[in-house]
Structure 1
């Protein structure tokens, strides 16, 4: 039997980290090799399996980034953007491929991803869900067909704890629409209030809701005078992002250096 792909999870004690550990525990191809948390974390030394609602796996939470990555074949990072530079530099030094699912990245972070991908293979996506990446592709198709005929709106709903707004997924939808329709940021409106002039035909509005415990709902609307097309994705379990992340890590095994997205992983 072939040896499994050993995966280090960065940000392993968080919601996404726990979901990824659960998915890895059931994988026939990959397995957890290291569970990394931040310096001074209250979870240091605890069993990552038990913390993730599984049986004991004897892989303890560690803050030793270099050791954890060196003992792994691939890396999945779902930590915070403030540590992305350290993660990328360590992966580059140790020549390890990495999946980056951390949200709220700035343009500086994205440039760092591009630069590092000249040395190692990286998968980066604002959303690792297989269904959401179908949403991206369907939005692109709908924009090509209806974009010049329709009023377009994006709705982004997440749990009350989410810090970035709009979400990375809503931002990606925006970019797809702008690029497909040859529009610019000047066409983007974030919410509306007050007395407004008639809607500009090229306007694309983004509406952000943060309430309750919604995992993540996104809808793109195309309104014409005769009909309305809605393309929606509603996440029912955080594992949907974990499944995509593990699939991306497996995609990277033996891959050439470069910056890949989930379209590459899924063959879209």
Structure 2
């Protein structure tokens, strides 16, 4: 049985490197293309050498249309600045796509919704199996604890990360809002200055950007009598890469529709 051919967008970044490493060891899938921004200094480099493994023979290139034609499924971990163009090419070429790009606007998320009526898409703020269990456990806890507990979310990432809060923290917020039946107006982002006593419906999100932390997320549920903490701490970017490849393999037999990692993992 031939391997699934995966085209990688944003292949020279941190996540791109991790996905290339995972695909080099995969029994089911292989790297078919590795695209980077037009004008990138990495064009012409071997993707494997750049990723710290042996040569793959797949060279960094900026031609996404050609990459689509030679791939079964796409994985996009590029910058959100080129996201709309990448998505439109995937739609035009009728290629399934896994979207791990963070920092997307509401308008860009609507583009995903529209595109999913034509092609199959997995969109998730975090591809890690463990983080998706964090989402599910947070949902369960919130539905059980309800108004009796205060809720705070802590998001810690490396000093290079540009978006804050992270896509994962934003998704945790959405999970909590749905479970508690609350609105965005109940959310605060960090605290500064003088505040009245905490509103019982408040959900607070705090962001730290320091060092080389790959990604730590903790949801705190606190009552006067006890505290519950649900945490996930990434130790290697490969955890996200493994999930992204699983998502690509999941899409290989889908026709169209919008899916998330719960669909991929069956939870």
- Give me the TM-score of the superposition, normalised by structure 2: 0.99
Question: Partner of 2:125 in structure 1?
Answer: 126
| Residue 196 of structure 1 pairs with residue 192 of structure 2 | no
Instruction: Give the Cα separation in 1 of the matches to 2:28 and 2:3.
Output: 5
| Residue 38 of structure 1 pairs with residue 40 of structure 2 | no
Instruction: Give the Cα separation in 1 of the matches to 2:196 and 2:84.
Output: 44
1:221-259 deviation digits (Å, cap 9, x = unpaired)? 000111100000000001111000000000001113000
Q: SS at the partner of 2:148?
A: coil
Question: Partner of 2:59 in structure 1?
Answer: 60
Instruction: Give the Cα separation in 2 of the matches to 1:94 and 1:200.
Output: 50
| Residue 107 of structure 1 pairs with residue 77 of structure 2 | no
Question: Partner of 1:227 in structure 2?
Answer: 226
Question: Partner of 1:211 in structure 2?
Answer: 210
Larger displacement relative to structure 2 (5-14 or 191-200): 191-200
1:202-236 deviation digits (Å, cap 9, x = unpaired)? 11100100110000000000001111000000000
1:38-64 deviation digits (Å, cap 9, x = unpaired)? 000001001111111111111110001
Instruction: Give the Cα separation in 1 of the matches to 2:20 and 2:111.
Output: 27
Question: Partner of 2:249 in structure 1?
Answer: 250
Instruction: Give the Cα separation in 1 of the matches to 2:196 and 2:38.
Output: 52
1:132 deviates by 0.3
| Residue 168 of structure 1 pairs with residue 161 of structure 2 | no
Instruction: Give the Cα separation in 2 of the matches to 1:211 and 1:117.
Output: 36
1:75 deviates by 0.2
Count residues with an aligned counterpart: 267
For the aligned residues, what is the CA RMSD? 0.6
Instruction: Give the Cα separation in 2 of the matches to 1:123 and 1:153.
Output: 28
Q: Which runs of 5+ in 2 are unaligned?
A: none
Instruction: Give the Cα separation in 1 of the matches to 2:56 and 2:205.
Output: 43
Q: SS at the partner of 2:198?
A: coil
1:147 deviates by 2.3
Q: SS at the partner of 1:54?
A: coil
1:119 deviates by 0.2
Instruction: Give the Cα separation in 2 of the matches to 1:98 and 1:196.
Output: 45
Question: Partner of 2:20 in structure 1?
Answer: 21
Question: Partner of 2:78 in structure 1?
Answer: 79
Instruction: Give the Cα separation in 1 of the matches to 2:104 and 2:163.
Output: 10
Instruction: Give the Cα separation in 2 of the matches to 1:195 and 1:30.
Output: 54
- 1:147 touches 1:222 (CA, 8 Å); kept in 2? no
- Give me the TM-score of the superposition, normalised by structure 1: 0.99
Instruction: Give the Cα separation in 2 of the matches to 1:74 and 1:163.
Output: 27
Instruction: Give the Cα separation in 2 of the matches to 1:123 and 1:112.
Output: 13
